[in-house]
Amino acid sequence: MLFDVSALRDLQGKDLSGEGLLILEGRFLIEKAMDSGTAILGAIRTEESDSGWLESRHPQFPVEVASQAELAGIVGFKFHHGVLALAKRPKIPRFKVGAHGGAQEVALLCMWNITDPSNVGALIRSAAALSVSAVLLGPGCADPFYRKALRASMGNALSLPLYSCGLAELLAMRKAGIALIAATLSPRARPLEEFRPARPLALLLGNEGFGLPSEVIELCGTEVSIPMRPDVDSLNVVVAGGICMYELFRRR
The residue that leads in pLDDT, 107 or 232, is 107
Mean pLDDT score, 89-110: 81
Residue 2: per-residue pLDDT? 52
Residue 252: per-residue pLDDT? 57
Percent of the chain having pLDDT more than 90? 62
Q: How many CA atoms lie within 13 A of 83 on its CB side?
A: 22
Is the pLDDT at 13 greater than 90? The verdict is no
| The model's pTM | 0.91
Residue 230: per-residue pLDDT? 81
Residue 1: per-residue pLDDT? 44
Mean pLDDT score, 90-94: 96
Q: Render the chain in DSSP notation, one character per residue.
A: --S--GGGTT-TT---GGGTEEEEESHHHHHHHHHHT--EEEEEEETTS--HHHHHT--SS-EEEE-HHHHHHHHTS---SSEEEEEEPPP-PBP-GGGS-S-TT-EEEEE-S---HHHHHHHHHHHHHTT-SEEEE-TTPPPTTSHHHHHHTTTGGGTS-EEE--HHHHHHHHHTTPEEEEE---TTPEEGGG----S-EEEEE-BTTTBS-HHHHHH-SEEEE----TT-----HHHHHHHHHHHHHTT-
Is the pLDDT at 33 greater than 90? The verdict is yes
Give the model confidence (pLDDT) of 151-200 as tens digits: 999 999 999 999 999 999 999 999 999 999 999 988 888 988 888 877 78
Q: Which of 133, 127, 124 is nearest to 98 (CA)?
A: 133
What is the CATH number assigned to the segment(s) 97-249?
Answer: 3.40.1280.10
Torsion sign across C-alpha atoms 143, 166, 112, 164: negative
Q: For residue 99, what pLDDT band results from cuts at 50, 70 and 90?
A: low
Query: Residues 23, 16: contact at Cβ < 8 Å?
Result: yes
Mean pLDDT score, 9-38: 91
What is the CATH number assigned to the segment(s) 6-88?
Answer: 3.30.1330.30
Residue 100: per-residue pLDDT? 60
Angstrom distances, CA of residue 182 to CA of 185, 220, 241: 10, 6, 11
- Residue 205 pairs in a beta bridge with 111
Delimiting residues of CATH 3.30.1330.30 domain(s) in the chain:
6-88
Residue 74: per-residue pLDDT? 84
Is the pLDDT at 70 greater than 90? The verdict is no
Residue 15: per-residue pLDDT? 85
For the chain, the average pLDDT equals 89
Delimiting residues of CATH 3.40.1280.10 domain(s) in the chain:
97-249
Is the pLDDT at 104 greater than 70? The verdict is no
